[in-house]
């Protein structure tokens, strides 16, 4: 069966086509035939962050060209599609409504089923888009770390997810973006902060790590962000130069220490021997390297998706939608988008 997948939860309009074998052999996972992402980066960069109303308008302009490109690259037409899967939430409601309503309209016209996908499940399962030898088996412990979410889950199967802990304030990606804005580095901040961090000393400034209670798997990044703001403010007050590279490196190290520490703690609590990461911040090199090293030391296997499957993409939505469809879950035409995930 051919699946058309659509993702529009934030500031990327994405579409993908996947080829799946539904009945014959469930061990054969869907193959990605195309995976197209249109970024609104330039529109929002001038405002230093995402402007929700502009994001919705850009999705409206981009959705049809992006879907057409995904169909063309997969060498199929809309009439060949058997299932449509779209992100139903969480995210910006105006943005979500564009992709989700588009998907339901296509389902109605083509008389095919539509599944509404929780964006978080896409990130949790994105690792299964990799080659067989680079995929975990179930169960595994997963960290979803993006601009909107920082949560730990136990993933028991393709459709069973248990929340272990989540951020009590900012998401890690949000902290990267806010620190970048503070330093005048532009939007999105994560890639720029991590690039500058390569030239800085990660031990130069002792920024705080919020471990919370000893066994807690929750996160908090707002204190760290405030600490960076105070540090920059003091430099300015004293007319001292701002050591941007050292700030980036020390901030990144503080975020990575907590993410890695809590993920290992989660694996210890679940007893799982496999650890997976997903979401935009999972593209961060320091996080990937440190998690791999620490997992190896603890005798755990660590799985990191390739960067294109870390940041928002429709291939992961098609995969999660396929698994949902396989257990009979589809949406009615009056189903609504949701801004908060019931999983979180």
**Least separation in angstroms between CB 41 and ligand KG4:** 11
Interface segment toward ligand KG4; rule CB under 6 A; list 38-46, 108-116, 259-267, 273-281:
273-281
Nearest to ligand KG4 of 86, 106 (CB atom): 86
Distance CA 136, CA 125 (A): 10
**For ligand KG4, what does the binding mask look like between residues 131 and 170, x meaning CB under 6 A?**
---------------xxx----------------------
Distance CA 127, CA 155 (A): 12
Distance CA 119, CA 332 (A): 18
**Least separation in angstroms between CB 71 and ligand KG4:** 23
Nearest to ligand KG4 of 48, 191 (CB atom): 191
Q: How many CB atoms lie within 10 A of CB 330?
A: 17
Helix, coil or strand: residue 71:
helix
Q: Is 223 annotated as a binding residue?
A: no
Using rule CB under 6 A, residue 89 touches ligand KG4: no
Distance CA 91, CA 13 (A): 13
Classify the phi-psi angles of 279: left when phi > 0, otherwise alpha if psi is within -120 to 50, otherwise beta. Answer: left
Asked if 303 contacts 135 with a C-beta cutoff of 8 angstroms, the reply is yes
Could you tell me what percentage of the chain is helix, strand and coil, using 3-state DSSP and rounding each to the nearest 5? Answer: 45, 20, 35
Asked if 88 contacts 332 with a C-beta cutoff of 8 angstroms, the reply is no
Which of 194, 253, 270, 274 is the binder for ligand KG4 (CB under 6 A)? 194
Which of 30, 94, 116, 279 is the binder for ligand KG4 (CB under 6 A)? 279
Which of 89, 90, 116, 189 is the binder for ligand KG4 (CB under 6 A)? 189
Q: Is 148 annotated as a binding residue?
A: yes
Nearest to ligand KG4 of 83, 277 (CB atom): 277
Q: How many CB atoms lie within 10 A of CB 331?
A: 21
Which of 88, 141, 150, 284 is the binder for ligand KG4 (CB under 6 A)? 284
Question: Which positions make up the binding site?
Answer: 119, 123, 144-148, 177, 190, 284, 312
Question: Which positions make up the binding site for Fe cation?
Answer: 119, 123, 312
- Residues of this chain that interact with ligand KG4 (CB under 6 A) are 10, 146-148, 173, 176-177, 188-191, 194, 279-281, 283-284, 311-312
């Amino acid at each position: 069966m051919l699946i058309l997948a659509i993702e529009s939860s934030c500031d990327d309009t994405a579409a993908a086509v996947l080829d799946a074998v539904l009945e014959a052999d469930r061990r054969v996972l869907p193959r990605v035939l195309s995976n197209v992402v249109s970024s609104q980066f330039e529109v929002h960069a001038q405002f230093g962050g995402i402007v929700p109303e502009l994001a919705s308008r850009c999705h409206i302009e981009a959705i049809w060209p992006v879907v057409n490109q995904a169909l063309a690259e997969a060498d199929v037409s809309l009439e060949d599609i058997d299932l449509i899967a779209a992100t139903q939430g969480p995210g910006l409601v105006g943005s979500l409504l564009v992709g989700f309503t588009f998907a339901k309209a296509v389902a109605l016209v083509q008389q095919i089923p539509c599944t509404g996908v929780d964006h978080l499940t896409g990130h949790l399962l994105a690792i299964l888009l990799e080659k067989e030898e680079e995929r975990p088996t179930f169960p595994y412990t997963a960290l979803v770390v993006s601009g909107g979410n920082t949560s730990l889950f136990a993933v028991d199967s393709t459709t069973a997810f248990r929340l272990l802990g989540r951020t009590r304030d900012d998401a890690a990606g949000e902290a990267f973006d806010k620190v970048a804005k503070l330093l005048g580095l532009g939007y999105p901040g994560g890639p720029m902060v991590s690039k500058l961090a390569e030239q800085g000393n990660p031990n130069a400034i002792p920024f705080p790590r919020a471990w919370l209670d000893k066994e807690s798997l929750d996160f908090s990044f707002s204190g760290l962000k405030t600490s960076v703001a105070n540090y920059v403010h003091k430099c300015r007050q004293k007319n001292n130069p701002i050591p941007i590279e050292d700030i980036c490196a020390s901030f990144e190290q503080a975020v990575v220490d907590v993410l890695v520490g809590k993920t290992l703690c989660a694996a210890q609590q679940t007893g799982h021997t496999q650890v997976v990461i997903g979401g935009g911040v999972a593209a961060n090199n320091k996080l990937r390297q440190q998690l791999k090293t620490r997992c190896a030391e603890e005798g755990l296997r660590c799985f990191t998706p390739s960067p294109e499957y870390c940041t928002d993409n429709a291939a992961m939505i098609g995969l999660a939608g396929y698994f949902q469809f396989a257990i009979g879950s589809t949406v009615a035409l009056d189903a609504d988008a949701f801004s908060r995930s019931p999983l979180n």
